[in-house]
Structure formats: structure tokens, C-alpha cells
Amino acid sequence: MSISRDLIDAEGQLTRWPKKAVEREEVLRYLSSKFQQDRTYDENEVNVILREWHSYGDWSSLRRDIIGYGYASRDRSGLAYKFGKQ
């Protein structure tokens, strides 16, 4: 996984949302790797982990994109998240 240095700081935090689709995919794969695969998380747990790995305060968009790109799924109630490429 190779993410551009201008997207990730020295601590490994995402510093901005990339413009290029290929970079967005890499970023979402990177963020998804911070979760245990096939474990169920509640929304608060997901938010805490995403806040830890980005510095610009938009964890809700990141959460939606991770689901939209298929790196996680959400149950019908919208309260439980499972990570792993769907």
C-alpha cells in the first residue's frame, strides 16, 4: 500500500481527502486496515478509530465512504459495522 506523503503525516494520520479516485481508494484501504477484519464494531467505536487516523475532523464522511467502497458493511439498523472487503 503506497499512499502519497502529502496525504499522510509522520504519525500516519490522513491530513486531507485526496482528489484522485485511485488515491481515495488507497486511503480507504489504509483506514480500513486499522480495523480488525470480520469483527463487529458499533458506530462509536468506528468513529473513535477514524478520529485517531485522520486530522481534519470528517470521520462521518470517511465512515460512509468506507462502506460505499465496500471495505465494510453496516447492518440494517445502521448500528453495527463489520470490516473486510465486501
Cell numbers for 54: 485522520
Per-residue model confidence as pLDDT tens for the chain (86 residues) = 578 889 999 999 999 999 999 999 999 999 999 999 979 999 999 999 999 999 998 999 999 999 999 999 999 998 999 998 76
Angle of helix 21-32 relative to helix 59-68, nearest 10 degrees, comes to 100
Residue with cell 479516485: 21
How confident is the model at residue 86, as a pLDDT? 65
Domain boundaries, the chain: 21-83
Q: Among residues 36, 15, 23, which one has the least CA distance to residue 65?
A: 23
Q: How far, in Å, CA of 78 to CA of 74, rounded? A: 6
- The pTM for the full model equals 0.89
Q: How far, in Å, CA of 32 to CA of 14, rounded? A: 12
Q: Kind of pairing, strands 40-42 and 80-83?
A: antiparallel
